[in-house]
DNA sequence: CCAACGCTACACCCAGCGGTATAGTTACAA
DNA sequence: TTGTAACTATACCGCTGGGTGTAGCGTTGG
C-alpha cells in the first residue's frame, strides 16, 4: 500500500470494506469512488480496472491476515503444540473484528469466475495457511504433520463458515476443541 | 416440481445447473431462458421473478440433498454411531457427482444480500442438518449429542470448502477420520 | 519557470441486466 | 364451439454496470 498515492489508498480501503461487507459483484466502481470521495477517473488511473482492484483488495487482506496470524502465534509462548491451538485464537479475534461475513477468500472463490486472477490469490492464501500449519505441526513433533495440518485447515474453514452462516454459536471454540483432541492423540507417548 | 408445467421444469433444471456452475449473480434470466429453449415470457409466467426462481432453485436442491442423505444413511446398517460416519459417505458421493463448486447454500449466502429470501432457505438447510446430526448422535448415545453434532457440522462445512477450493485431496475422508475420533471418544465406556 | 503529476468535475458510451407488452399459435377441455 | 392455458416470437423499457475522454486546477521538483 506504500507505493500508492493518498487517493489510491483511500480507494483501496473503501473498496476493501465494501467488497467484503456487500460482496464483490454487488459493489460497483461508481459506489466505491463516491464513498471514497474520489472520482471514477482517479480510481481507474490508480488501478486500471475493477478486476485489478479486486486483486489488490485480496492481496492486501491476505497480507493483513498472514501478519496478524503470525504475530498472534509468535506472541503465544508455550509448547509448540499449543501454537497450533493459538491459530484458533487468532481466528477468533479476526472473526470478531472484521470477519462477520466469513472468509473473504472463500467468498471471492464463490463470486469470481474460474479464470479470474483473484482466485489464484485465494488459493495461494489457503496453500500458505496449510504450509504454515504443517510447519507448526512439525515443530510440535506430531506423527503426521501434513495430515494434522490438513485436518486443522478443515476445522478452520468449517468454523469460519458455520460462524458466518450463524449455524451455531462459538463455532471457533468448538473447532479448537476438536483440534486439541487431534493434537493430543497424535503426540507420541 | 410436480405442480410445474413442462416448460417450467425445463427452466428450473437449467437454472439450477447454471446457478450452481457459474454462480447466481453471474447468470442472467436471458441465458437461462435461451439454454432452456424457452422464452423469457414463459420463465416469468412460471416463476414471477429471478428472485423467486432463485428460491425455487435452492428449495429444490435442498430437497434433493436431504433425501439423498437420509436414503444413504438409512441404507447403511450398523450401529448408530456409524450412521454419523455414513453422512460423510453421502457427502463424498454428492461431492463427486454434483458438488464440484462447493455447497450451493454456502455459495448462495455469499452471493445474496442479507434480506434475500434465498438466504433463509440456506439457513434452514443448515439448521436441518444440524438437527439431523443431533438425532443420530442421540441415537448413538454419545455424551453430548448437540455438541458432537455441531462439531460434525463444522467438519462437513470444512470438508466441502477445502474440497471445492482444492486446498487438499481427500478432504471428505480426512473430515470423516476426525469425526471417527470424536465419536470414539464421546462413547461411554 | 515550467512540466509532470495527482487530482476534480462532468459528460459520455455501450452492453447487459431484470422485467414488460403485444400478438399469435397449439392443444385440450367444457 | 368456444375458451383458456401454455407456449413462441419479438420488440421494447429504464437502469446500472464497467470504462473512456476532455478540460482544468493545484502542488511539487528539476
pLDDT in tens, A138-189: 999 999 999 999 999 999 999 999 999 999 999 999 999 999 999 999 987 6
User: In the prediction, which pLDDT does A70 show?
Assistant: 98
Q: Give chain B's domains with CATH numbers.
A: 1-48 (1.10.10.60), 61-186 (1.10.357.10)
Q: What's chain A's Rg over C-alpha atoms?
A: 18
Name the closest residue on chain A to residue B157, using Cα atoms.
Answer: A158
Pairwise pLDDT comparison (B68 vs A100), residue with the higher score: B68
Percent of chain A with pLDDT over 70: 97
A104 CB neighbours strand D below 7 A: no
Q: Residues of B with CB below 8 A from A109's CB?
A: 102, 164-165
Taking the CA of residue B110 and the nearest CA in chain A, the distance in Å comes to: 6
Percent of chain B with pLDDT over 70: 98
Among A25, A110, A147, A175, most B C-beta atoms within 10 A, so best to mutate, is A110
CA nearest to B86, candidates B147, B139, B162, B127: B139
User: In the prediction, which pLDDT does B100 show?
Assistant: 85
- Mean pLDDT of all residues in B113-125: 97
Residue A1 pLDDT greater than 60, yes or no: no
Residue pointed to by grid coordinates 490469490: A121
User: In the prediction, which pLDDT does B96 show?
Assistant: 86
Pairwise pLDDT comparison (A181 vs B188), residue with the higher score: A181
Cβ <8 Å between B161 and A106: yes
Least confident of A24-38, A156-170, B90-104: B90-104
DSSP A148-189: HHHHHHHHHHHHHHHHHTTSSSSHHHHHHHHHHHHHHHHS--
Nearest to A185 among B26, B123, B181 (CB): B181
Q: Residues of A with CB below 8 A from B151's CB?
A: 174-175, 177-178
Cβ neighbours for B19, distance < 8 A, ≥ 6 positions apart: B27, B54, B57, B104
B8 CB neighbours strand D below 7 A: yes
Number of other residues whose CB lies within 10 A of the CB of residue A51: 14
User: In the prediction, which pLDDT does B46 show?
Assistant: 97
CA nearest to A159, candidates B71, B85, A184, A151: A151
Cβ <8 Å between B130 and A158: no
Number of other residues whose CB lies within 10 A of the CB of residue B135: 14
User: In the prediction, which pLDDT does B62 show?
Assistant: 98
Residue B1 pLDDT greater than 80, yes or no: no
Structure confidence by residue, pLDDT tens digits, A113-142: 999 999 999 999 999 999 999 999 999 999
Cell representation of residue B16: 439450477
Question: Are A143 and A188 a contacting pair, CB within 8 Å?
Answer: yes
Residue A173, φ and ψ in degrees, nearest 5: -60, -45
Structure confidence by residue, pLDDT tens digits, B76-89: 989 999 999 999 99
Using pLDDT thresholds of 50, 70 and 90, give the confidence band for residue B189. low
Among B148, B161, B175, most A C-beta atoms within 10 A, so best to mutate, is B161
Using pLDDT thresholds of 50, 70 and 90, give the confidence band for residue A77. confident
Give the A-side interface with B, CB within 8 Å: 22-23, 25-26, 102, 106-107, 109-111, 113, 122-123, 126-127, 130, 147, 150-151, 153-159, 161-162, 164-168, 171, 174-175, 177-178, 181-182, 185
CA distance B110 to A35: 22
Cβ <8 Å between A166 and B123: yes
Cell representation of residue A81: 503444540
Q: Residues of B with CB below 8 A from A123's CB?
A: 165-167
Question: Are A87 and A136 a contacting pair, CB within 8 Å?
Answer: yes
CA distance A110 to B174: 23
Least confident of A3-17, B92-106, B120-134: B92-106
Cβ <8 Å between A110 and B106: yes
Burial tier of A115 (Cβ tally within 10 Å: 0-12, 13-18, 19+): exposed
Q: What share of chain A is helix, strand, coil (3-state, %, to 5)?
A: 75, 0, 25
* Mean pLDDT, chain A, integer: 95
User: Helices A80-98 & A171-186, crossing angle to 10 degrees?
Assistant: 170
User: In the prediction, which pLDDT does A188 show?
Assistant: 76
Cβ <8 Å between A130 and B167: yes
CA nearest to A115, candidates B22, B17, B15: B22
CA distance A133 to A87: 9
Residues with CB under 7 A from strand C: A 5-8, 37-42, 45-46; B 27-31, 40-41, 44, 49-51
Cell representation of residue B8: 417450467
Residue A31, φ and ψ in degrees, nearest 5: -65, -40
User: In the prediction, which pLDDT does A34 show?
Assistant: 96
Pairs of CB atoms within 8 A across A/B: 129
H-state helical runs in A75-144: 80-98, 104-111, 117-139
CA nearest to A8, candidates A38, A31, A28, A51: A38
Cβ <8 Å between B126 and A151: no
Cβ <8 Å between A107 and B102: no
Using pLDDT thresholds of 50, 70 and 90, give the confidence band for residue B2. low
Cell representation of residue A77: 509462548
Question: Are A1 and A12 a contacting pair, CB within 8 Å?
Answer: yes
- Mean pLDDT of all residues in B149-172: 98
Residue B49, φ and ψ in degrees, nearest 5: -160, 165
Q: Residues for chain B: how many in total?
A: 189
Among A162, A171, A175, A182, most B C-beta atoms within 10 A, so best to mutate, is A162
Amino acid at each position: 500500500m506504500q507505493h500508492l498515492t493518498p487517493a489510491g489508498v483511500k480507494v483501496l480501503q473503501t473498496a476493501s470494506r465494501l467488497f467484503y461487507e456487500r460482496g464483490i459483484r454487488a459493489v460497483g466502481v461508481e459506489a466505491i469512488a463516491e464513498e471514497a470521495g474520489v472520482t471514477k477517473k482517479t480510481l481507474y488511473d490508480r488501478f486500471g480496472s475493477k478486476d485489478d482492484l479486486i486483486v489488490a483488495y485480496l492481496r492486501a487482506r491476505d497480507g493483513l491476515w498472514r501478519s496478524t496470524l503470525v504475530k498472534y502465534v509468535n506472541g503465544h509462548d508455550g509448547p509448540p503444540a499449543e501454537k497450533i491451538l493459538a491459530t484458533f485464537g487468532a481466528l477468533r479475534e479476526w472473526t470478531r473484528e472484521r470477519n462477520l461475513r466469513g472468509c473473504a477468500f472463500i467468498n471471492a472463490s464463490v463470486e469470481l469466475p474460474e479464470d479470474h486472477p483473484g482466485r489464484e490469490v485465494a488459493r495461494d492464501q489457503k496453500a500458505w495457511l496449510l504450509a504454515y500449519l504443517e510447519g507448526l505441526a512439525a515443530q510440535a513433533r506430531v506423527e503426521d504433520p501434513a495430515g494434522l495440518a490438513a485436518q486443522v485447515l478443515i476445522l478452520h474453514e468449517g468454523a469460519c463458515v458455520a460462524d458466518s452462516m450463524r449455524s451455531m454459536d462459538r463455532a471457533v471454540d468448538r473447532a479448537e476443541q476438536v483440534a486439541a483432541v487431534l493434537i493430543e492423540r497424535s503426540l507420541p507417548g
